[in-house]
Amino acid sequence: MSAPLRQRLVRWSSVAAVLGAWWCLVNPLARGAEIDFYRDVYPVLKSNCIACHNKTTTKAALNMETPEAMRKGGDSGEGLVPGNGAESLIFQAAAHIGDVEMPPKGNKSGALSLTASELALLKAWIDQGAKSSVQQARQVVWQPLPPGVHPIYSVALTRDGRLAACGRANEVFVYDLATRQLVTRLADESLSKPGSPGTAHRAIVQSVAFSPDGMRLASGSFREVKIWRRENVPVTTRKGDPALGAVVSELAADGKRLVCADKQGALQVIDAGDGKVLKTIATAIQGSITLLSLSPDATQAAVYGTDGSLSLWSLADGQRSARKEGLAGVRTLAWTRDGKAVATGGDDKVVRIWPVPTGEKAEVAAPKELKSATGAIMALETGADLLIAASADGKVRLWNVAEAKLVRELAVAGAVALGLSGDGKQLAAGRADGVVQVWDGAAGKPIIELSGDAETNAHLAALEWTVAAEGLEMAFQKQEAARIEAQNKGLEELLKKTNDTIATVKKDVGEKQNALKQATHAKDAAQKAVAAVADQVAKAPGGKPDAALEKQQKDAQDKLTAAALAETAALAALKAREIHLKDAEVEAQNYAAAQSRNTSAVAAANAAAAKAKAAQDKGVADAAATRQAAAGRKLQPLAVRFSADGQTVAAAFGDGSLRVWAVAAGLPIQHLPGSGATTAASLVGSADRVFAAATADGSTARVSTASRWGLERTLGGDTAASPFVDRVNALRFSPDGKTLAAGGGEPTRSGDLSLWEVASGKLIHEWKERHADAVLSLDFSPDGKRLASGGADKVARVTDVASGKVINVFEGHTHHVLGVSFRADGRVLATAGADSTVVIWDMISGERTKKIEGWTKEVTSLQFIGATNQILTSAGDNLVRIVDDHGGQVRAMAKLPDFMQSAASAATAGVIVGGGEDSVLRIWNGATGQELAAFGAGSNTTTP
């Protein structure tokens, strides 16, 4: 034997010895220990038997989840003979002894035949008495998710369409759809690691849901639910001190200091936060200061007064560094970005750029003049190498400062305030009509117009909801009136037939009465004849009638009998017709009463329809009035400013109000109402998404478009005490936001529902095994009194929240029910199935009204859009589709690259979102189907 071969044999001998020792430790047969069912036997059965033999899927009526169930057996008899494994049917089937072989070849569960060691273990357990044991709580051993696993299984959208959320792998992402930016990745600090902020969950996120007010977000994963809370940065305001007499104010670039000028020409340097005066500078200007601008580093102030002088003042020592007199009609001034010059413009239509003198007694050099305007200069803004001037001739001109060269001319009528983005690529022009227009400076093209405020938009959205909801109500009531009127027509036909029957029967009754009279008369005559013959018989000699008399007596008696029978028959016939008549009259009364009730019901339905129409008309009129009032508020912007990231624009107006818009979507996102009219305003934007504003009297305000999300509480967890036995597949907040419903359960075994108090995290109700398989979808009725659930058991159920009773069971799908959604009026429920259909259910009758087809794969989610009959769906055939509840297709977002798992809509179809296996969250305009943005797992946004 060669040395290498001998070495390999030695190594293999060592390995075999180690494996043998390990086998003796883990195998109870090898070490002669008593076999524990849940520790030793159950894992074998679970891998190969229980998928088809459990309490939900009990093939051959055999449940193999417990020793007791196996002893009970199924269709073939008892499954176990304790103490005798060889004679136990379950062992024989597993060992392929006899006619039954389990698991069968080619089974759909992928179960494999038991190995020799597994069979020996099963037989030994039965031989030991097939004893049960105590099931030990299973400790979850978490493993890292495989790299690249980022599917989106659930998406959510706030009612106003502002925020969207999705789960990717074990993370939850929140996006601002107004700015088209990632807001945050939610992180549980307890899951953080060195160098990593942490994730939302350990396992894949199965479900997400926003509260109705958008201030909370719930996320569901394996055996836990986390509730995250949003904290908005509060608005701060400070009223200017009237004692200062400020007539114009300017904020430093960092928003921390404020410089105010009074009517006497004095400058006050103030702490913008608390209003404390830090320095007073007496300028000795003859008259009032009308214009004030701070250098970029906030060390100097440029001041223009009614005396026509322009002067520069050091804010550090309060000394004047330069002065230029004789400048009449100046309307606006601004420092260049490098702080080396001050630009002025005014009635003479010329922009002058004054170099800032250097040295103690430097003279003010001649300015550089920019001439091309044919109207007064109304506003100035400067960039790194640009100067922008708005003039009364309806033009905004962009100048290269160094070359004094006109770069571009934009047609912006009525521009009175200007702002430039930090990168100098976009220009915001505030117009006299209150609109702020954003331009692409390089291309010279308008991008978007910004107007309105968040409150007005919210009010209009509420009115739009009202109009749609009243439209639903009106349509339903009209449909009810038509249905009842059709029913009344049927009743009218029935009543006519019944009245015809009454007339016929009444005629029959008269005839039967006459027939009875005749029969009675005939009977009476026959009775008399019998009596007369009886008298003759009595008078016969010896009381014995002769044969002729006897025959006469018999004939008379026979005639009487026949007459009596005829009378009885006539009476019965009469009674039968009288009963028929009475029944017909009662029937006619019932039909008439039903007609009367229906007539009242039709009147009520028509009245309800008219009421809904009036409410709808009022909603339409109120919306029109709101829009007209908004259009009529021609507030003039006094200052316009971009945020540091260029995603938002703020404007301060003459009524002291401040408004902020998102540039990407053109939506107003912040509104601070004004406290009074002002003649001037100052605005600065910071990197932390804060705008600071100041009005002429020194009043200040700070508003932020940022928000902070934090973990509020965790429900359940990976401990044995968790109320969730497996994945939490569905979450839904109640309409009032006070209750959170969670749905899950153990696949193939149970479908569980639970209700939680959001504020405290207290478990309110728990309905175990409400479904026979895992719950996959949830929705509250609009009044919050009912909870619809869809499960893997192919059934949708509706639970009364107060009593916990199941009030509806809808069986119409042939596969998992993946989505449930109530219509806004609560009268209709839609369900989505893995059988590629959507089914519409009438909640009043409990009947199916429509089965909608047209998908080729699973319909993975659905939601009624706002207060309409339109339903948003996502599906595995790469399709996000809108249909109505009659089955008509409204719109489809087709040719998506991958399986779509979930979609959601705002209260209107203005914004819809969808996500799936490719990990991209897509945003569409639901009214047009246009894709607005797409957020990938590794990037903030991609906008088409």
Kindly report the number of other CB atoms within 10 A of residue 43's CB atom: 11
Give the alpha-carbon dihedral of 672, 673, 675, 680, to 10 degrees: 70
Axis-axis angle for helices 454-539, 547-632 (nearest 10): 170
In this structure, the strands spanning 931-935 and 648-653 are unpaired
ω into 103 cis (within 30 of 0)? yes
Nearest to 260 by CA among 882, 721, 681, 649: 681
Residue 686: band (very low, low, confident or very high) from pLDDT cuts 50, 70, 90: confident
Give, for 799, the enclosing helix (H) or strand (E).
Answer: strand 795-800
Residue 942 has what pLDDT?
A: 53
Tokens matching residue 534: 């009886």
Share of the chain above pLDDT 90, in %: 71
- Structural contact between residues 635 and 653, judged by C-beta atoms closer than 8 angstroms: yes
The pLDDT tens digits of the residues spanning 25-45 come to 445 665 557 899 888 888 888
Q: Is the dihedral of CA 126, 128, 130, 136 positive or negative?
A: negative
Q: Is the dihedral of CA 237, 238, 239, 240 positive or negative?
A: negative
Share of the chain above pLDDT 70, in %: 94
Distance CA 115, CA 510 (A): 92
Residue 105 has what pLDDT?
A: 83
Distance CA 268, CA 278 (A): 7
Q: In the beta sheet, which residues pair with residue 352? A: 344, 369
Residue 16: band (very low, low, confident or very high) from pLDDT cuts 50, 70, 90: very low
Contacts of 276 (CB under 8 A, 6+ apart): 270
| pTM recorded for the entire structure | 0.85
Angle at 688 between CA 686 and CA 691, to 5 degrees: 45
- Structural contact between residues 310 and 354, judged by C-beta atoms closer than 8 angstroms: yes
Nearest to 321 by CA among 304, 305, 335, 301: 301
Span 486-495, average pLDDT: 93
Residue 50: band (very low, low, confident or very high) from pLDDT cuts 50, 70, 90: confident
The pLDDT tens digits of the residues spanning 706-728 come to 999 999 999 998 777 899 999 99
Distance CA 536, CA 533 (A): 5
The pLDDT tens digits of the residues spanning 73-125 come to 888 889 899 999 888 898 888 889 887 888 888 787 778 888 999 889 988 99
Q: What distances in angstroms separate CA 902 from CA 562, 859, 870, one per listed residue?
A: 87, 9, 16
Kindly report the number of other CB atoms within 10 A of residue 554's CB atom: 11
Burial class (CB in 10 A: 0-12, 13-18, 19+), 180: buried
Note the helical H segments in 27-129: 28-31, 42-48, 67-72, 89-94, 116-127
Kindly report the number of other CB atoms within 10 A of residue 344's CB atom: 26
The pLDDT tens digits of the residues spanning 633-682 come to 888 999 999 999 999 999 999 999 999 999 999 999 999 998 889 999 99
Residue 840 has what pLDDT?
A: 98
DSSP 679: S
SS3 346: strand
Residue 33 has what pLDDT?
A: 75
Residue 264 has what pLDDT?
A: 85
Residue 59: band (very low, low, confident or very high) from pLDDT cuts 50, 70, 90: confident
- Is the per-residue pLDDT at 24 higher than 70? no
